[in-house]
Amino acid sequence: MISLGVEVPAADGSLLATDVLLPSESSPRGLIVIRTPYGRGWHLAEGIEWRSRGIAFLCQDVRGRHDSTGSWEPYVHEREDGAALAEWLKDQPWTPKCVIASGASYAAGTAWAFAAETNSADWSFRVDGVVSKVPTIGSDRVKRDPSGILLLAEHLAWWGEHGDSSSSREGFIPELMRSDSALLEHLPVQSMIEKGGLTSDSPGWVTPINRARERQPYGSDDLVSADDLSELDVAGLHIGGWDDAMIRETLRHYASVERGPQSLIVGPWAHDLRPGMVGETSFGHLQVEWMESIFSARPVTINRVFDRGAGEWSTEPYVMGANRVRLEPDPGTAPFSFTHHADEGRNDCVVWTFDMEVECVLSGTPSAELTVHSPEGEADWIVELSIVDSAGVSRSIARGAGVSLCSGTVTIDLDPVLHTLRPGDVLSLQIAGSDFPRLARNLGDGDRYRGTRCTALHQSFSGSLTLPILGGTGGE
């Protein structure tokens, strides 16, 4: 049986459009649930394939998107609407006992929300597994850097294409940016969206900006809290990419869900997870293998993590390097200072380099500790770690950001990495005062989101780089 456009009632009376695909000749031996803002129709081919395997497949448009009614407010209603879907499933005669919640990006967040809702009550079924691909679990996680700064380019691109409407405007923002190269430079930031014909007071647009402006605790609007994740008793398949902005989230979830077997696949991919295969590893094939093991009540653990330095896959669990090696720049290369010009195209910076003398494996989160001074007050500190190999090829592997409100010490965690370093490689750490347009720039006038005036910021510092090492040591 295939039922398209089934209306599942939410608690407030909104109707959530849902496609249900059931095996034609037998009771389903399992169910896959996807809740997405990007259009449930994209998943019909996937549903047909699972239906042929004897698995029920359900895909739902989230509230206010496509054929679902109600108000579209990103990340606001997903817990309650997940609970409403669970209530509906409880009353269906075909609902099997074993359920997998699945999704990518926003839909991964709704999958965790559905799992949290169903596993906190006495249901006739339970979520036994979650497939979490490049997860976004709250507006902070996808709209703000861990430093608290607004992810400017991401916010404009996503909201401009998917906000304020039940349907998406695919390709709109890239085309708009081609016609207006100064779009991201518009001040004030808060009204930037108006250049695209949208309103700047829409909750979906202004809420992340206000949270950043008010320095609200990072991650405090998560759909599923860290405590919730730690209490979930589910198997997890976590899929991410080293070039994905959500790699920290993929690994955070992998480490946080402690009460069920957790599997991890991380490749040299960005947020779109392309290409799907590197060498002999296809995450699509591994995903099907993992899901089938859950439905068969014989869960397997799959680990595939790509080491870009070695150009190889590891099948060992990803662990943080216990040997923390601290590298300090040559004091003879001081002074370490630059001027950040918020109103100019250039971005002054300082570069530290470290020669590697022995082979070692970076595994975990590098960090930079800076003792900083900026006489103008609040300042941004952007660090980017690159590796220059013996052939002179440079590759950026991690970056991070911090904000200082006065002189003092700033510790900046960079993106997690797994990368084998060879003798002769050179580590390069670039320290700057801006990562525009990825991050909203500090205008120097006290309010980067409502300000319209730019000033120069004079920044000086000293410090060190700390590396997480699996065996061996690094050398200067």
Model pTM? 0.94
* pLDDT given for residue 476 in this prediction: 41
**Per-residue model confidence as pLDDT tens digits over 242-278:** 999 999 999 999 999 988 999 999 999 999 987 656 6
| Residue 57, pLDDT score | 98
User: Model confidence over 159-169: pLDDT tens digits?
Assistant: 999 987 899 99
Tell me, what's the pLDDT at 142?
A: 94
Give the model's pLDDT for residue 17.
Answer: 98
Query: Which tops the pLDDT comparison, 347 or 19?
Result: 19
In this prediction, what percent of the chain has a pLDDT beyond 70?
Answer: 96
Residue 371 β-bridge partners:
409, 462
Tell me the residue ranges of DSSP E strands in 414-455: 417-421, 426-432
The pLDDT of residue 422 is above 50: yes
* 95, pLDDT greater than 80: yes
- Region 381-409 average pLDDT: 94
- The answer to whether residue 475 scores a pLDDT higher than 90 is no
Position 121 scores a pLDDT of 65
| Residue 47 pLDDT | 96
The conformation of residue 143, written as its DSSP 8-state character, comes to H
Confidence of residue 126 (pLDDT cuts 50, 70, 90): confident
Residue 461 confidence (pLDDT) above 70: yes
pLDDT, one tens digit per residue, over 178-199 is 999 899 999 999 999 999 999 9
Residue-wise pLDDT for 437-446, tens only, equals 999 999 988 8
Contact predicate 78/62, CB 8 Å: yes
Given this model, what pLDDT does residue 66 score? 96
- Tens digits of per-residue pLDDT, 316-352? 999 988 899 999 998 888 889 999 988 876 678 999 9
**Which of residues 321 and 434 earns the better pLDDT score?**
434
pLDDT at 278: 62
Quick check: 259 and 231 in contact, CB under 8 A?
yes
Average pLDDT over residues 425-437: 95
Residue 223 has pLDDT above 80, yes or no: yes
Q: Longest C-alpha distance within the chain, in Å?
A: 77
Residue ranges and CATH numbers for the domains of the chain are 2-138+222-314 (3.40.50.1820), 140-213 (no CATH), 323-470 (2.60.120.260)
Q: Is the peptide bond before 331 cis (omega within 30 degrees of 0)?
A: no
Poorest-confidence range of 171-175, 219-223, 341-345? 341-345
pLDDT band at 391 (very low <50, low <70, confident <90, very high): confident
Q: Which residue has the tokens 């998943």?
A: 43
Angle between helices 172-179 and 152-162 (to 10 degrees): 120
Which has the closest alpha carbon to 140: 202, 63, 209? 209
The 10s digit of each residue's pLDDT in 108-122 is 999 999 999 998 667
Contact 281, 255 (CB under 8 A): no
Higher pLDDT, 170 or 278: 170
β pairing state of 303-307 and 262-267: parallel
Amino acid at 238: H
Share the mean pLDDT of the chain.
93
What does the pLDDT read at residue 322?
Answer: 83
Using alpha carbons, select from 20, 23, 22, 15 the residue that is nearest to residue 4: 20
Q: Which residues contact 445 (CB under 8 A, 6 or more apart)?
A: 451, 453, 454, 455
Nearest to 163 by CA among 74, 103, 245, 42: 74
Residue-level pLDDT at 67:
96
Q: Where are the alpha helices (DSSP H) in 233-385?
A: 247-256, 283-295
Predicted confidence at residue 474, as pLDDT, reads: 44
pLDDT, position 14: 97
Q: Percentage of the chain surpassing pLDDT 90?
A: 83
Residue 61 pLDDT exceeds 70: yes
